[in-house]
Each structure stands twice: as C-alpha cells, then as structure tokens.
C-alpha cells in the first residue's frame, strides 16, 4: 500500500456512513490524520475506531457554528488541514420538485449546498497558511444530468458541481485544487433509502431493474470505488487537475 498521505491532515464530513466513511478509512490506511465530522455520534465513533488518532466532532454540516467547532478542533488537536472532503449529504424526498414542501427544499439545499460551502469557507484559510490544499466535493450523476425521481436533489447536486468549478477558479493560483466526484448509484444506506421511498418490495425490485438497465456495466458501485477516486483527486497524483467533475457510474452517462 502506498502512503500518499503519511502524516498529512484531512477533514471528512459525513464520515459516519457510506462514502464519507469509506473515504476516511482509506485516508487513514494511507497514513493521514483525520478530523471526522457527522451528526451521527455512534456511526462517527465506529469510523474513528478504525482510524488511528482520529479526532471526531458531532455536529450539523449546515450549521456555521458547528463547522466552526470542527475547524477549531482540527487546528487545536491536529494542525492545519490540507485535504477536505465534505461528503455529508441527504437524498431528500423522491418526488417531482414542485411536490416538495418549502421546508424540505430548504433542508436539502442547506445540507447539500450550504454544507460544502461552509466547510470550504472554514478550511481554505488553513490551506492558504500551508501554501497548498486539495478539496473533493460530492456531486452526483444527478448533478450532471436531470432526474425526474429526485429533481430537487439533482438541482442541489448541480449546484455542487458549479460550486466545485467556481472554487477551483477562485483558488487555482493559491495551489488549492478543487474537484468533485459524481457517483451513480452506490450500494449502501443512501441507495437503500432511495429504494425504500419507491414503494413495496415489488416496486423496489422493478425500480432497481430499470436503473440497472441504464447502467452499461449492469451493476451498482461500491463505496471503495468512490473513495479510491476521491483519494486520487486529493493526492499529488492529480497535481494538474482542478475544476473536474468525474462521473463514476458504470458508464451510465457515457
């Protein structure tokens, strides 16, 4: 195993589950010291148990005060953060955009869009101090193409794609690279939550079959397949890459 991140400091939000957890574990395996943030205290502890020296902060990714606590904890207990992965996100209701309640829309955008913006705003000053940094946001295939089933989610992830590109332009001269991954359907709690909204077991099975039919590789992805791409973007291997939005979707958007 290469140790691209030996002794270097990374912050991961949404680290209690799914893709954030897989990213945190892979970073720790490659030697990074990690600050782990999530609202799920038990899940966070389970991730931290597998990341030697991890620092955990329980909080809401859409709260400026909670993100500021995470920033302060990183500075106090680890040092300035070089790598940021704001992975916390929610799916929201599986319905057409105009069917959403105002509160549902606001919550979706608060967590999925304001969340990564708050994290970037908190940690880019660390990267400026050390003269370099790398950020990987979590967009989605739904952030590159529209989605009739998850239309508000798709709008929020489209915003994440453009936040990525704009941050990349803002900070390129400061040696801070910003990219995003655009996963398709990945096995784990979020995909299960999506299928759970579709209806009974037969409806879920039909939905899964329709989705699989649209994926040339004829399978869903695994969290580690996303984490590996995140680590590539974070690492010096991607030294000339910024503003990229990478579909990781078994060929669905090809």
Ligand X SMILES: NC(=O)c1ccc[n+]([C@@H]2O[C@H](COP(=O)([O-])OP(=O)(O)OC[C@H]3O[C@@H](n4cnc5c(N)ncnc54)[C@H](O)[C@@H]3O)[C@@H](O)[C@H]2O)c1
Q: How far is the CB of 136 from ligand X (least distance, A)?
A: 11
Work out the angle at residue 123's Cα, subtended by the Cα atoms of residues 156 and 141, and round it to the nearest 5 degrees.
Answer: 25
Cβ distance to ligand X smaller for residue 133 or 221: 221
| Cβ–Cβ < 8 Å for 10, 214 | no
C-alpha separations of 135 from 10, 46, 127, 129, 149 in Å: 10, 24, 10, 15, 29
Q: How far is the CB of 205 from ligand X (least distance, A)?
A: 18
Residues contributing to the site for ligand X (CB under 6 A): 14, 16-20, 38-40, 43, 60-62, 87-90, 111, 138, 140, 183, 185-186, 188-191
Cβ distance to ligand X smaller for residue 172 or 217: 217
Cβ distance to ligand X smaller for residue 94 or 190: 190
Single out the catalytic residue among 138, 153, 195, 233: 153
Q: How far is the CB of 105 from ligand X (least distance, A)?
A: 15
Q: How far is the CB of 149 from ligand X (least distance, A)?
A: 13
Cβ distance to ligand X smaller for residue 151 or 185: 185
Q: How far is the CB of 212 from ligand X (least distance, A)?
A: 13
Cβ distance to ligand X smaller for residue 176 or 191: 191
Whether 232 is a known active-site residue: answer no
Residue whose tokens read 């010291």 = 33
Residues marked active site are found at 153
């Amino acid at each position: 195993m290469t140790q691209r991140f030996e002794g270097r400091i990374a912050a991961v939000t949404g680290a209690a589950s799914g893709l954030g957890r897989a990213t945190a574990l892979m970073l720790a395996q490659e030697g990074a010291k990690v600050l782990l943030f999530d609202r799920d205290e038990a899940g966070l502890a389970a991730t931290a148990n597998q990341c030697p020296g991890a620092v955990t902060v329980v909080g809401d990714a859409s709260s400026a005060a909670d993100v500021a606590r995470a920033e302060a904890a990183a500075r106090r207990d680890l040092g300035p953060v070089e790598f940021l992965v704001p992975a916390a996100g929610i799916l929201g209701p599986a319905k057409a955009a105009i069917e959403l309640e105002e509160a549902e829309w606001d919550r979706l955008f608060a967590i999925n869009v304001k969340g990564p913006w708050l994290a970037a705003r908190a940690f880019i000053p660390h990267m400026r101090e050390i003269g370099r940094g790398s950020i990987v946001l979590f967009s989605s295939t739904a952030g590159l193409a529209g989605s009739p089933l998850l239309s508000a989610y798709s709008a929020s992830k489209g915003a994440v794609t453009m936040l990525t590109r704009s941050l990349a332009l803002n900070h390129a001269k400061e040696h801070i690279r910003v990219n995003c991954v655009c996963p398709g359907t990945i096995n784990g709690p979020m995909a299960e939550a999506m299928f759970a909204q579709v209806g009974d077991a037969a409806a879920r099975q039909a939905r899964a079959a329709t989705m699989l039919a649209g994926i040339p590789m004829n399978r869903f992805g695994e969290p580690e397949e996303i984490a590996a791409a995140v680590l590539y973007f974070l690492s010096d291997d991607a030294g000339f890459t910024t503003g990229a939005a990478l579909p990781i979707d078994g060929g669905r958007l090809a």
